[in-house]
């Protein structure tokens, strides 16, 4: 009888350990392969090629096609993509509520030293709440980061014909040269912004 | 025959400047779409738990201060390459028995110009399109504005598409 109780306690302890483990930030070698498996999962579930930025186009085709040829197609055929991004939204909510990491994000000391000079000191969320919040939306800095930044993401991904998922992961998985070119350009643009332009925006 | 031509035209339009398109010719009831919702949920959980949707992780990546994002993207691509190779090699079919097809991508200058523009936006917002949805789910409600702005950017691209160099 005693040993049965001990077994129960052991099981519960293991369960707690498991949840504690899942609440920690996941390592790249766990997350990367899981993301890579999305490619065959979508192909095998229904002959769908992985890509997320297209959802923005389908939303345009659905809401405001405005007789623009680029948005005149049967978006209902691509509605699976909207289910997928709705899932990403729900997954984000589930991860924060049930598997949320209670500790602040740990970043490279050089980055935190740099960000401190711009008044960014809050590491409790995935995003810097010091600059990304409703109040700062109406300041020049906030407008540039949220509104202009978002516009560049939407315009650039469609102009490039895909984003990190469509080009870098799906395109490279299928060994497409145009996707390699696009991915290199994503990185070049990112390096330019993060190292040379963003410091000016953050110091506004 | 007429129907077929119309279908092909629509497929061509949808695949213009798009990586992700529906290659399947089958039509299913709406609840078949739930499997994409489930897959999206799993994907969103990984996004948040591995902090891929974190602005801070993106800043570290573009400052070469952390290997994390390179590890994530690199291992995802490696798994993707092996998976696609296996699917082609063994002629693996979908769960409905349909042959799997992936359209090749044509090069155009948009991949360079658009790629650079997206890169600039990625480093400011700390998000590509996927993480935008996850960030809203994870509770940063103001990202709704960033998402709406991204949709507007896509729309403006569609509006000026003919005038842009490709």
pTM value is: 0.93
Write down the residue that tokens 């560049």 correspond to.
A152
Q: At what angle do helices A149-160 and B129-137 cross, to 10 degrees?
A: 140
- Whether A76 and B27 have beta carbons less than 8 Å apart is answered as no
pLDDT, tens only, B14-36: 877 776 677 777 788 888 899 99
Residue B118: which pLDDT band, with cuts at 50, 70 and 90? very high
How far apart CA B34 and CA A59 sit, in angstroms, is 19
| Rounded average pLDDT over A106-113 | 96
Position B2 scores a pLDDT of 57
Position B19 scores a pLDDT of 65
Contact residues, chain B, for A135 at CB < 8 Å: none
CB contact under 8 A, B125 and A181: no
Domains of chain B, by residue range, sit at: 2-163
CB contact under 8 A, B19 and A32: no
Position B132 scores a pLDDT of 97
Write down the residue that tokens 């186009």 correspond to.
A57
| Rounded average pLDDT over B151-155 | 97
Contact residues, chain A, for B140 at CB < 8 Å: 125-127, 129, 132
Element at A24 (helix H, strand E): none
* Paired residues of B93 in beta bridges: B99
Q: Of A91, A115, A126, which has the smallest distance from its Cβ to B44's Cβ?
A: A91
- Whether B40 and B137 have beta carbons less than 8 Å apart is answered as no
DSSP track, A146-185: IIIHHHHHHHHHHHHT--IIIIIIIIHHTT-HHHHHHHHH
Please give the structure tokens belonging to residue A112.
Answer: 């935190």
CB contact under 8 A, A34 and B46: yes
CA distance B18 to chain A (A): 5
Domains of chain A, by residue range, sit at: 131-204
Report helix, strand or coil for B93.
Answer: strand
pLDDT, tens only, A183-194: 999 999 999 999
| Rounded average pLDDT over B96-109 | 91
Residue A162: which pLDDT band, with cuts at 50, 70 and 90? very high
| Rounded average pLDDT over A67-71 | 93
Length of chain B: 166
Position A2 scores a pLDDT of 60
CA distance A17 to chain B (A): 17
Q: Single out the residue of A51, A185, A27, A45 nearest to residue B49, CA to CA.
A: A27
Contact residues, chain A, for B69 at CB < 8 Å: 28
CA distance A152 to chain B (A): 5
Mean pLDDT of chain A: 94
Report helix, strand or coil for B90.
Answer: coil
Complex ipTM, two decimals? 0.93
How far apart CA B125 and CA B153 sit, in angstroms, is 14
Measured between alpha carbons, how far apart are the two ends of chain A, in Å? Answer: 69
Report helix, strand or coil for A64.
Answer: coil
Residue A180: which pLDDT band, with cuts at 50, 70 and 90? very high
């Amino acid at each position: 009888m005693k040993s049965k109780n001990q077994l129960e306690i052991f099981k519960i302890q293991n369960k707690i350990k498991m949840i504690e483990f899942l609440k920690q930030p996941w390592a790249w070698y766990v997350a990367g392969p899981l993301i890579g498996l999305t490619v065959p999962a979508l192909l095998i579930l229904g002959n769908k090629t992985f890509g997320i930025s297209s959802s923005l186009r389908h939303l345009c085709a659905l809401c405001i096609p405005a007789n623009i040829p680029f948005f005149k197609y049967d978006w209902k055929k691509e509605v699976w993509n909207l289910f997928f991004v709705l899932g990403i939204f729900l997954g984000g909510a589930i991860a924060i509520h049930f598997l949320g990491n209670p500790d602040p994000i740990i970043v490279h000391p050089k980055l935190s030293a740099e960000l401190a000079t711009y008044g960014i000191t809050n590491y409790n969320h995935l995003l810097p709440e010091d600059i990304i919040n409703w109040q700062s939306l109406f300041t020049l800095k906030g407008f540039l980061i949220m509104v202009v930044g978002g516009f560049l993401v939407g315009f650039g991904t469609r102009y490039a014909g895909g984003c990190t998922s469509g080009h870098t992961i799906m395109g490279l998985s299928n060994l497409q040269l145009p996707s390699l070119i696009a991915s290199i350009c994503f990185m070049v643009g990112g390096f330019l912004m993060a190292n040379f332009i963003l410091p000016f925006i953050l110091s506004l | 025959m007429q129907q077929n031509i119309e279908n092909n035209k629509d497929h061509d339009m949808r695949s213009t400047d798009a990586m992700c398109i529906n290659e399947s010719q089958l039509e299913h009831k709406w609840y078949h779409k739930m499997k994409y919702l489930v897959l999206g949920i799993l994907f969103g959980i990984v996004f948040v738990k591995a902090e891929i949707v974190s602005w801070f992780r993106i800043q570290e990546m573009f400052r070469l201060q952390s290997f994390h994002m390179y590890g994530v993207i690199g291992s995802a691509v490696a798994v993707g390459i092996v998976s696609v190779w296996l699917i082609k090699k063994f002629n693996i079919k979908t769960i409905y028995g349909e042959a799997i097809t992936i359209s090749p991508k044509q090069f155009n200058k948009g991949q360079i110009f658009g790629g650079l523009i997206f890169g600039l936006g990625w480093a400011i917002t700390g998000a590509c399109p996927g993480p935008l949805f996850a960030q809203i789910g994870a509770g940063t409600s103001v990202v709704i504005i960033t998402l709406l702005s991204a949709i507007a950017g896509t729309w403006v691209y569609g509006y000026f598409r003919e005038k842009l160099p490709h």
